Amino acid sequence: MHAGTTTTHDAHDVHDHIHPAPEGFIRKYVFSLDHKVIGFQYFFTGLFLLLIAGSFAELVRLQLTKPEGAIMSHNAYNEMFTMHGTAMVWMVLIPLVTGAIGNFVMPLQIGARDVAFPWLNMASFWIFPIAALILFSSMLFGGPHAGWTEYPPISLADGTAGALWCMAIFVIGISSTMTGLNFMVTIIKMRAPGMTWTRMPLFVWATFATALMNMFATVALSAATGALFIEHVFNVPFFDASRGGSPVLFEHMFWFYSHPAVYIFIIPAFGVVSEVLPVFARKPIFGYKMIAFSSMAISILAFTVWAHHMFPSGLAPWLQLPFMILTYAIGIPTGIKVFSWMATLWGGRIHYTTAMLYAMGFLITFTFGGITGVFLASVPVDLHMHGTYFVVGHFHYVVAGGAVMGFLAAIPYWYPKATGRMMSERIGQLSFWLFFIGLNGTFLPMHWLGLEGMPRRYASYIDFAKSNPDAQFWNTFETAMSFLMVASVGLLVFNVLWSIKHGKVAGINPWGARTLEWTISSPPPYYNFKKLPEVYGRPYDYDRPLPYKNTDNELDEYPEYGRVLMPIPTPAAVGA
């Protein structure tokens, strides 16, 4: 037991030194090593790119208000949906959910002073705007036209623009690989004393699962885009059928990353929902272990299902079956999650904040998206639905109704911690209802349009409209509805900026949440925790007192600690 106490002491020796405060504007806000500042940088960059990519989406929608195409040429339309998809996936969603939310929240929740490798963290942020610049610069060279999947041979026709596309994705891939590595090490090694794996907040579990995929899958993407790049530039025949290459090979290499990519941005949303629901239902999360386990199960299964995107695309028929079965297998942990969230609401005391509304909306829209996913996983049905608007509807329900909803729940939830001010509830709830209605109105009709025979990536649908007179009505309806989402995002941006100055003062813990980030001041000091907290129990037990020791709420302004070790608590104080 003597050893026991010494290790306790060492634990504090190890972590209790506080680095001196960063000085000067550049160190503080530009090349900052502070995970919170880096989180802000990701957030605002991502939000800005979200507006751009979103406006592309609206151009796409406007084009479809007329069967022959309302506003632009086929080429321009193809460029628009390509840039919309690419930017949304790599430049908006992944940076926002992992980069912004993950960076800001995860170290606070595990009671760490920062991530494991702050320099790496800074580097992976600063790579991101560079990648974005490369991607958008490709539009000066005619722009990529082959869709966000950029299949050869069609993408090889894009020339310089295509090469730039590959370069941009390669670079952003390096960034998220580095982030993944950083987060893995942070979560494995830097949890506060006493925070066992089963005492981690569920958002940390989600971040861990995400980091796993970021690390291992994204490298495969780098390989795919790298190979496509050298085929573009040096004419190396990886994918050129006439010289022995194979277009299907690219689809394999691409989807081996890009299926996990979907989970890379949905699983952090799972984490956010698992945080928000217990807090505003004022009761423990239902089935903590199952939710944590299912996150890991999903992230591991994610590596084994990529070819379900290729059922009609030249996959050997016998290969279709294992991929179909594995895809169904993913439905099981996902179902467990949804049911557990549902059960968390039962017997609660539900406070309807904006975050809670988004979380509950998530439950409905994500369930819908998950169910349509089961349709697509079945080989025979997929042979009908593949490449139609049904697919577009499905993944927008999962991405906009899942990942984005989770992200929108996270903003009002952690905004007080980040800025010290509350966001306006009235504006927030209005923007929720706009978003929820707009989302369903936009993406629901896509399902039957697709089943009726409207393929995706259609710059015009004259022939389809001939045999389906309702086509134009539904497309116009979708376009109209999509503008509700625009309004909602506009309100969100206004709310974020306005509340920085005019929001109510938040205090340390406005929600009565129980994870560690709510035990320190809002916004937290650059070193997060003056003393490292000690953890004695699970985070969501609303019926018990807080399971933390050694936390302190009243922090003075930046103290001049340097690398001095903090005083060691006596075993008595620790045990109590």
Partner 1 sequence: MRRHTGEASLAQRYSPHPKQVRVQGLGRGFWLVTALLTLLSLGTTYYYLFGSIDWIMPGASHPVADRASDVDGLFKFMAVFGTAILIYVSGYVIYFGIEFRARPTDPPDLVGVPVHDAPKLELWWTVLPTILLAVLTALSINVWYKIQFGTGAPALTMEVVGHQFYFEYRYPGLKTSVFSKTEPMHLPLGVPVRILITSADVIHQFWVPEIRLKQAAVPGLVQNLNYTPLRAGTYDIACSEFCGPDHSVMHGQLIIEPVADFNKWLEGQKKAAASAGATVNLANGSADAGKATFAQKCAACHNNPPTPFDQKLVGPGLAKITDDPAHPTLVTGKPPTPANIADILQNGFTGPIGTMPNRQANALSDKDIADLVAYLTSLK
Partner 2 sequence: MATAAAAIPHGGGHAEVAARYHDVDPVYAETRDLRLLGFVLFLLSDCILFGAFIFAYIYLRVSAPAWPPFVGGHQLPWFDTSFAAFNSIVLFGSGVTMHFALENWKHLNKRKFNMWLIATIILGIGFLLGQAHEYSVVGISWAGSTMGASFFTLTGMHGFHVFVGVCFLTTLAIQANRGVYTGSKYFGLTAGTLYWHFVDVIWVALFFLFYLW
Q: Does an H or E element contain 7, and which?
A: helix 2-15
Complex with partner 2: residue 115 or 422, whichever CB lies closer:
115
Q: Does 251 bind partner 2 (CB under 8 A)?
A: no
C-alpha–C-alpha distance, residues 151 and 130, integer Å: 24
Beta bridge partners of 455: 388
Q: Does 142 bind partner 1 (CB under 8 A)?
A: no
C-alpha–C-alpha distance, residues 40 and 99, integer Å: 9
Q: How far is the CB of 528 from partner 2 (least distance, A)?
A: 15
Of the ranges 185-193, 344-352, 364-372, 466-474, which one interacts with partner 2 (CB under 8 A)? Answer: 185-193
For partner 1, the binding residues in 538-557 under the rule CB under 8 A are 541-543, 545-546, 553-555, 557
For partner 1, the binding residues in 41-100 under the rule CB under 8 A are 69, 74-75, 78
- Among partner 1, partner 2, none, what does residue 52 contact (CB within 5–8 Å per kind)? none
Q: Does 241 bind partner 2 (CB under 8 A)?
A: no
DSSP letter at 527 equals T
For partner 1, which residue of 314, 433, 564, 565 counts as binding (CB under 8 A)?
A: 314
Complex with partner 2: residue 497 or 573, whichever CB lies closer:
573
User: What mask of x and - would describe binding to partner 2 in positions 117 to 136, judged by CB under 8 A?
Assistant: x--x----------------
CA quadruple 438, 440, 441, 445: dihedral, nearest 10: 150
Query: Which single residue is written with the structure tokens 């995400």?
Result: 210
CA quadruple 18, 501, 357, 397: dihedral, nearest 10: -80
For partner 1, the binding residues in 239-268 under the rule CB under 8 A are 241-242, 244, 246-248
- Among partner 2, partner 1, none, what does residue 220 contact (CB within 5–8 Å per kind)? partner 2
Q: Does 246 bind partner 2 (CB under 8 A)?
A: yes
DSSP letter at 505 equals B
Long-range contacts of 549-557 (CB under 8 A, 24+ apart): 549/573, 549/574, 549/576, 550/574, 551/516, 551/519, 551/520, 553/508, 553/519, 553/520, 553/521, 554/521, 555/520, 555/521, 555/525, 555/530, 557/525
C-alpha–C-alpha distance, residues 419 and 516, integer Å: 17
Q: Does 575 bind partner 2 (CB under 8 A)?
A: yes
For partner 1, the binding residues in 366-395 under the rule CB under 8 A are 367-368, 371-372, 374-375, 378-381, 383-384, 386-388
DSSP reduced 3-state for 455: strand
Of the ranges 9-17, 283-291, 356-364, 419-427, which one interacts with partner 2 (CB under 8 A)? Answer: 9-17
Of the ranges 81-89, 101-109, 244-252, 439-447, which one interacts with partner 2 (CB under 8 A)? Answer: 244-252
What sign for the dihedral angle of Cα 350, 355, 358, 359? negative
User: What mask of x and - would describe binding to partner 1 in positions 204 to 233, judged by CB under 8 A?
Assistant: ------------------------------
DSSP letter at 67 equals T
For partner 1, which residue of 52, 174, 336, 568 counts as binding (CB under 8 A)?
A: 336
Beta bridge partners of 505: 421
Q: How far is the CB of 224 from partner 2 (least distance, A)?
A: 7
Complex with partner 1: residue 146 or 190, whichever CB lies closer:
146
For partner 1, which residue of 137, 460, 472, 476 counts as binding (CB under 8 A)?
A: 460
SS (H, E, C) 169-211: HHHHHHHHHHHHHHHHHHHHHCCCCCCCHHHCCHHHHHHHHHH
Q: How far is the CB of 130 from partner 1 (least distance, A)?
A: 28
- Of 87, 82, 81, the residue nearest 60 (C-alpha): 81
> Are residues 488 and 431 in contact, defined by beta-carbon separation less than 8 angstroms?
yes
- Among partner 2, partner 1, none, what does residue 157 contact (CB within 5–8 Å per kind)? partner 1
Q: How far is the CB of 353 from partner 2 (least distance, A)?
A: 31
- Among partner 1, partner 2, none, what does residue 572 contact (CB within 5–8 Å per kind)? partner 2
Total residues contacting partner 2 by CB under 8 A comes to 65
Query: Which single residue is written with the structure tokens 């929902």?
Result: 273
C-alpha–C-alpha distance, residues 187 and 113, integer Å: 12
Please work out, in degrees rounded to the nearest 5, the angle formed at the alpha carbon of residue 295 by the alpha carbons of 392 and 433: 50
Q: Does 470 bind partner 2 (CB under 8 A)?
A: no
For partner 2, which residue of 151, 216, 328, 477 counts as binding (CB under 8 A)?
A: 216
CA quadruple 104, 254, 273, 108: dihedral, nearest 10: -20
Count of CA atoms in the C-beta half-sphere (13 A) of 563: 1
- Of 357, 359, 476, 365, the residue nearest 426 (C-alpha): 357
> Are residues 363 and 342 in contact, defined by beta-carbon separation less than 8 angstroms?
yes
For partner 2, which residue of 192, 356, 422, 491 counts as binding (CB under 8 A)?
A: 192
User: What mask of x and - would describe binding to partner 2 in positions 476 to 515, judged by CB under 8 A?
Assistant: ----------------------------------------
> Are residues 39 and 115 in contact, defined by beta-carbon separation less than 8 angstroms?
no
Q: How far is the CB of 548 from partner 1 (least distance, A)?
A: 11
Q: Does 318 bind partner 2 (CB under 8 A)?
A: no
- Among partner 2, partner 1, none, what does residue 328 contact (CB within 5–8 Å per kind)? partner 1
Q: Does 191 bind partner 2 (CB under 8 A)?
A: yes
Q: Does 194 bind partner 2 (CB under 8 A)?
A: yes
User: What mask of x and - would describe binding to partner 2 in positions 217 to 236, judged by CB under 8 A?
Assistant: --xx-xxx--x--x---xxx
Q: Does 282 bind partner 2 (CB under 8 A)?
A: no
